[in-house]
Amino acid sequence: MPGRSKSSAKGSRSVRTEMHHMRSGKHRVKSRKQAIAIGLNKARRKGARIPRKGRAGKKSA
């Protein structure tokens, strides 16, 4: 994948597997957002460089 960054690929893969686990009933998460947060957290622990919540779009005034 020459055009994509490795961090977004790792992050999206982790989120995809967590959503699959949520839908199949393997994880007892209450919402879709919770499953996404778990997936991103697992990707960060594996070493993916994913920006923290709120850091990407903030501008200083």
* Confidence (pLDDT) at 60: 62
**Any domain includes 25:** yes
Computed over every residue of the chain, the mean pLDDT equals: 77
**Any domain includes 17:** yes
**Any domain includes 56:** no
* Containing structural domain, residue 20: 6-46
**Any domain includes 61:** no
* Confidence (pLDDT) at 54: 67
- What is the chain's percent helix, strand, coil content, to nearest 5? 55, 0, 45
**Any domain includes 34:** yes
**Any domain includes 40:** yes
pTM of the full predicted structure? 0.63
**Any domain includes 18:** yes
Alpha-carbon gap, residue 32 to 5, rounded angstroms:
24
Domains of the chain: total: 1
**Any domain includes 21:** yes
Q: Give Cβ neighbours of residue 46 (< 8 Å, ≥ 6 apart).
A: 10, 14
pLDDT at 1 over 60: no
